[in-house]
Amino acid sequence: MRPNVVIFLCDQMRRQATSFMGDVNVFTPNLDRCAHEGIYFTNACSTYPICVPFRFTLFTGEYAHSRMIPGLGWRMSPAETTIAHEMNRLGYQTAYFGKWHLYGGHVQLPGYGALKVNRTPVPRAYQGGFEYWRGFELRNDPYDTVYFADDDPAPRHIEGYQTDGLVDLFEHYVLHDRDRRRPFFSVVSVEPPHPPYIAPPEYVTRVRGRELIMPPHVADSSKKRHLREHTINYYAMIENLDANVGLVIRRLEEEQLMENTIFMFLSDHGDLLGAHGLRNKQYPYEESVGIPLVVYSANAQLVAKGQVVSTPTCTEDLYPTLLGLVGSKAGDAKPGFDLSPLMRGEAHEVDRPGVMLQFVAETRPGAPFYDKAWRAFRAERYKYVVLGDEFGGTPWQLFDLANDPYEMHNLIDDPNSRTVLKELHGLLYERLMETQDDYALKPAFGYAGLNYWEYAR
């Protein structure tokens, strides 16, 4: 029988916010165990660091620019082939628990607003092919969450804290509802640590008793004080997440399933949380685009033990990787790389210079990048970003991440970085063409413009 797959997807957890990645403000023993006994990626990236486009790419394998997806307020077509469809074809029972956010969850309807979306079901045709459904579009209130079961339009309230309740639903599925004749492919999608920063009181008390260490690129001392409460609750939410990861692993072990199960933990994007004086996500800074990516199995033939990979990865890699982990390939060619050979210990790096990152469009006036969009090329050492409106992007940022991990020194105008800038601009240029991205790029570093005409000015 093919291996079971469990994806634990959280919302807005930055890559750095675990003990195994060196954050002294948080304790994550269960994630640490999965990382140290499995594999973790120190440069995993969310290609498009906001909820909707990440989820689209996770479930379809396609770049968001291929569907011109804005940050929010977008609905995925039922015609899309998803990872659930692929797994169904392979004989899996597919099951989904939690936040979906691919049914247009921020569309404001006259007289209804967001509340209607938060309290109405996602129709079967828009559930992405998952057979067993315990989901909802979005809520963003971890103590006031409802979900819907399959085609039943009646909302069901989650008692207590959302993450705890969704893990309870997953455990019920494993114990009572799964088809034991088939392997299962399950996604547990929780909103924490997404704002509002609300955590169970016992976790808040635990974190509040510690001295928080703020990184050097967080704003001045007055703003640090303002951020303290959000930061405390953010780490408390992550420690609750970690405890629930432990519950999932233990349940699978108790049911003697872990020997034939692959467990993946990741987030859809990060959280700036005061870095560079900013909040939320959207920006190409590491706190925004960097995500945790941990893969674990008790069976070393499924996931080799004790691996740390520094090769940059992107969201587009996840779809082919999930299929590769169960011994299959996508029915259609996908733009990402299958990372499963790294996870099995059969390879140690990906043969590419880096990955492209992007912010395609924003429909909300006043939101970041409403009038401009960016593209970036993320190599292991450097990150290069262009920014511009419809008339063309121009060089904006260059960071040496090896020597400047907090991105405090923009080298875009550094004459000594000219060679690196030209190389990275060329790599970005090539990736834009390879992926048929219509982003307008102005001439720079000896390269002609792309999707750009001088008269457009």
Burial class (CB in 10 A: 0-12, 13-18, 19+), 333: exposed
Residue 379: both structure tokens together? 């190599």
Q: Please name every residue paired with 266 in a beta bridge, in sequence order, or none if there are none.
A: 9, 293
pLDDT at 366: 87
pLDDT band (50, 70, 90) for residue 142:
very high
pTM of this prediction? 0.95
Confidence (pLDDT) at 331? 78
Residues 3-11, mean pLDDT to the nearest whole number: 98
Rounded to the nearest 10 degrees, the angle between the axes of helix 29-37 and helix 221-254 is: 60
Phi, psi of 60 (to 5 degrees): -120, -20
Q: What CA–CA distance (Å, rounded) separates 9 from 332?
A: 25
**pLDDT of amino acid 105:** 62
- Residue 110 pLDDT > 70: no
pLDDT value of position 117:
59
Per-residue CA distances from 8 to 29, 224, 355, 386, 419 (Å): 16, 31, 24, 33, 41
pLDDT reported for residue 452: 77
Mean pLDDT, the chain, rounded, equals 93
As beta bridge partners, residue 132 has 95
- What domains can be seen in the chain, in order of their start residue? 4-343 (3.40.720.10), 371-456 (3.30.1120.10)
For residues 129-158, average pLDDT: 95
Measured CA to CA, the distance from residue 96 to residue 129 in angstroms comes to 10
Average pLDDT of span 233-254: 98
pLDDT at 109 > cutoff 50: no
Residue 46 Cα to chain centre, angstroms: 5
Is the confidence at residue 107, as pLDDT, over 60?
A: no
CA torsion angle for 58, 59, 60, 63 (degrees, to 10)?
A: -30
* % residues pLDDT > 90 (the chain): 85
Mean pLDDT along residues 50-71: 96
Peptide bond into 70 cis (omega under 30): no
pLDDT value, residue 199: 98
Per-residue pLDDT at 235 exceeds 60: yes
Q: pLDDT value at position 113?
A: 45
The 10 Å Cβ neighbour count of residue 37 is: 15
Taking 70 as the threshold, does the pLDDT of residue 42 lie above it?
yes
35 φ/ψ angles, rounded to the nearest 5 degrees: -65, -45
3-state secondary structure of 81: coil
How many whole angstroms from its chain centre is CA 245?
17
The DSSP 8-state label assigned to residue 16 in this structure reads: T
Give the mean pLDDT of 113-142. 86
Residue 270 has pLDDT above 60, yes or no: yes
pLDDT bracket for residue 146 (50, 70, 90):
very high
Rg of the chain, C-alpha, whole Å: 21
pLDDT digits (tens, 9 = 90+) for 405-417: 999 999 999 999 9
Phi and psi at residue 223, in whole multiples of 5°?
-70, -30
Backbone angles phi, psi at 404, to 5 degrees: -140, 65
Question: What is the model's pLDDT at position 220?
Answer: 54
DSSP bridge partners of 388: 373, 393
Tell me how long the chain is: 457
Residue 304 pLDDT class (50, 70, 90 cuts): very high
* pLDDT, tens digit (0-9, with 9 covering 90-100), for 357-392: 999 999 888 889 999 999 999 999 999 999 999 889
- Cis (ω within 30 of 0) for the bond into 200? no
Structural tokens at position 394? 């121009």
Mean pLDDT of 436-445: 96
